[in-house]
Amino acid sequence: MDKVADAAARFGVIPNMPKYLSMALGSGETTVLRMAAGYAGFVNGGREVTPTLIDSVQDQRGRVVWRSDPRDCGGGCGAAANPNGGPPELTEERKQITDPIAAYQMVNILTGVVQRGTGTRAGQGLNRPVAGKTGTTNDYFDNWFVGFTPDIVVAVWLGFDDPKTLGHGETGGQNAAPIFRDVLEAALRGGPPVPFRAPPGVALVRTQVDGGAPILEAFRPGTENAAQPPSEGLPSAQLGTERALPGLY
């Protein structure tokens, strides 16, 4: 429980989590904002994300006098910042709260939730990489879906101010996930699909679970042999370890 409490604190989900075994079943309390910020740590390569309701403040002449993002463009952020035409480089000062490979493994796991788990309604018709997790509390009092693409994190909660059931069978996958999908569709409309960025060293291994269809799982270097190989008869192009992954940033 010490490790669980430490992780909850590092990701900002529950700063002072009681070390009770029931916490593994979701007995802890948190907020929608904290959940969104916590999940952002996965897709940001394991770096801390501090949420804010104000992006920047300008004076009467339009000059920025304050901004929430503390990162700085080393050579300036204008068109002349990079003579080669590439994007300007930002100085990264956000705290590393977990290592990039562990963060990407969580992204990979949560992608599976949307592809073949309880969160399939979160990605229907979006035609882009989506990851996330559903949540349903006892007696259907609360519905959750917290998820993300490489560009945006969205957290959805459904419930009553005075706790009472939403109705028998009302789950996060049934109710919160479609709301997430609709928000994402509007927010990213017209934008190209962007893949999740993998850190150097991650091995994506095509494996198989309980005789089902082959899936890709992320492994640390040297642990790939723990994967169960797909059944015989699959095209050879689908087998093996895929290492040609894009860089993290």
Confidence band of 59 (pLDDT split at 50, 70, 90): very high
What pLDDT is recorded for position 230? 60
Convert the pLDDT of each residue in 118-138 to its tens digit.
999 999 999 999 999 999 999
Classify residue 158: in a domain, yes or no.
yes
Q: Quick one: pLDDT at residue 83?
A: 63
pLDDT of 196-249, one tens digit each? Answer: 999 999 988 888 777 777 888 899 988 877 666 665 544 433 334 444 444 333
Average pLDDT over residues 184-192: 94
Domain membership flag for residue 149: yes
User: What pLDDT sits at residue 46?
Assistant: 96
**Residue 194 within any structural domain of the chain:** no
The verdict on 145 and 234 lying in the same domain is: no
Per-residue pLDDT reduced to its tens digit, 8-54: 999 999 999 999 999 888 788 999 999 999 999 999 999 999 888 99
Let me know if residue 35 belongs to a domain: yes
114/223 same-domain check: no
CB 71 within 8 A of CB 56: no
Domain count, the chain: 2
Q: Can you give the pLDDT at residue 208?
A: 76
- Regarding whether 163 and 130 lie in a shared domain, the answer is yes
Together in a domain, 105 and 183? yes
Q: Which residues pair with 244 in a beta bridge?
A: none
Residue 60: the pLDDT is: 96
Mean pLDDT, rounded, of the chain: 86
CATH code for the domain in which residue 151 is found: 3.40.710.10
Confidence band, pLDDT 50/70/90 cuts, at residue 88: low
Model confidence at 84: pLDDT above 90: no
Share of the chain above pLDDT 70, in %: 82
Indicate whether 115 pLDDT > 90: yes
Q: What is the mean pLDDT of residues 65-87?
A: 68
Domain hosting residue 231, numbered range:
203-242
| pLDDT given for residue 73 in this prediction | 67
Which of 178, 183, 127 is CA-nearest to residue 152?
183
Q: Decide if 131 contacts 111 (C-beta within 8 A).
A: yes
Whether residues 103 and 223 share a domain: the answer is no
pLDDT of residue 238: 39
Whole-angstrom Cα distance, residue 209 to residue 86? 42
Which pLDDT value is given to residue 69? 82
Single out the residue of 173, 46, 175 nearest to residue 107, CA to CA: 46
Q: Is 17 inside a domain boundary?
A: no
User: Tens digits of per-residue pLDDT, 135-166?
Assistant: 999 999 999 999 999 999 999 999 999 999 99
Q: Which DSSP string corresponds to the chain?
A: -HHHHHHHHHTTS-TT----GGGGGT-----HHHHHHHHHHHHTTSB-----S--EEE-TTS-EEEES---EETT-SSGGG-TTSPPPPEEP-S-B-S-HHHHHHHHHHHHHHHHHSTTGGGSTTT-S--EEEEEE-GGG--EEEEEE-SS-EEEEEE--SS-----TT--HHHHHHHHHHHHHHHHTTTPPP-PPPPPTT-EEEEE-STT---EEEEE-TT-GGGSPPPPTTS-GGG-SEE--PPP--
